[in-house]
Homo-oligomer: A and B are copies of this chain.
Amino acid sequence: MLLSVINSVLEMQSLTRKADTILGFVPTMGYLHKGHLSLVEMAKKQCDIVIVSIFVNPTQFAPNEDLDNYPRDFDGDLKLLTELGVDYVFFPKTTEMYPAGYSTWVNVEGVSEVLCGKSRPAHFKGVSTIVCKLVNIVNPNYMYMGEKDFQQIAVLKRMLLDLNLETVIVPCPIIREADGLAMSSRNKFLDTQQRQDALCLYNSIQHTRTRYQQGCRTIGELIPEIEQIITKNNGKIDYIEFRTADDLKPIDQLDKNTRLFLAVYIGNTRLIDNAPLLSQ
């Protein structure tokens, strides 16, 4: 079957509600890179039908953020998804997703208020709302999401559980460039020097892992060392935090369930990364 592009919510619903098959869904904002494609490949392996949505969701961007500037390449995306054998691309208009008078917001308290939720206070409300809508429209069995947005997965798992939605999130590992930089649509904003500087995130992770294996368990020791790696490479720190992997709770001491979370500005581009302390 050839890939079909669907623009209308009703058409998407009528297609998916009928299916008596395992349905895999990959929600994206487009400008696809190998990270997204790894999600699609996983979905293709596990499901009968694979649907990818491409929607740059305005409600998860604050007015001062990069919505207008967010990279787009629909034709390029379509080519990549066709090659991977995706069945449907859901590509709705903003005016259909948020029509005049739109008033409803899904908010996950707690887990959405730390890390990126602190730096971007309305971000996760926008994410939870659009994903709730997309899940209701597509009604997938499985939803594939990358661990680069680790907190997003935690927020959405909580939302699906709390709202009694039966879709199951399949978290997929971060895909990195050869030198370790986590793939991101925003990497395209980096110039040559910044691309080099951006390695400070992955280098911080590697440094932390080495120190952990050497026996370091003290957060107060590690944070200044990571700060140094980042600032030496012209990065501006948004946050460096160690938290539990399952519910993102703050911790006193490092252990095997700890995850390191980083958000760093390289120039005007905000990059995030995260990793467990033991390399996978």
Interface of A toward B, CB cutoff 8 Å: 9, 13, 17, 101-111, 128, 132-133, 136-137, 158-159, 162-166, 247
Contacts of A132 in B (CB 8 A): 163
Q: Which 4 A-B pairs have the closest CB atoms?
A: A104-B162, A136-B164, A103-B109, A103-B110
A106 to B165, CA, bound (A): 14
Contacts of A128 in B (CB 8 A): 104
Contact of A163 among B17, B109, B133, B158 (CB under 8 A): B133
Given contacts A104-B107, A109-B103, contact A137 B164 (CB under 8 A): yes
Contact of A104 among B13, B159, B247 (CB under 8 A): B159
Name 27 A/B residue pairs within 8 A (Cβ), A-sorted.
A9-B164, A13-B164, A101-B110, A101-B158, A101-B247, A103-B108, A103-B109, A103-B110, A103-B158, A103-B162, A104-B107, A104-B108, A104-B109, A104-B158, A104-B162, A104-B163, A105-B107, A105-B109, A106-B106, A107-B107, A132-B163, A133-B162, A133-B163, A133-B164, A136-B163, A136-B165, A137-B164
A136 to B109, CA, bound (A): 20
Contacts of A164 in B (CB 8 A): 9, 13, 133, 136-137
Contacts of A109 in B (CB 8 A): 103-105
Contacts of A166 in B (CB 8 A): 13, 17, 136
By CB atoms of chain B within 10 A, which of A104, A136, A166 has the most? Answer: A104
A132 to B133, CA, bound (A): 12
A104 to B135, CA, bound (A): 16
Contacts of A247 in B (CB 8 A): 101
Known A9-B164, A104-B107, A104-B162; further 9 A-B contacts with Cβ < 8 A? A17-B166, A103-B111, A103-B158, A104-B108, A104-B158, A106-B106, A106-B163, A107-B107, A137-B164
Nearest chain-B residue to A113 (Cβ)? B103
Query: A104, B106: Cβ atoms under 8 Å?
Result: yes
Contacts of A108 in B (CB 8 A): 103-104
CB proximity of A134 to chain B, nearest CB, Å: 8
CB proximity of A159 to chain B, nearest CB, Å: 5
CB proximity of A74 to chain B, nearest CB, Å: 22
A133 to B104, CA, bound (A): 15
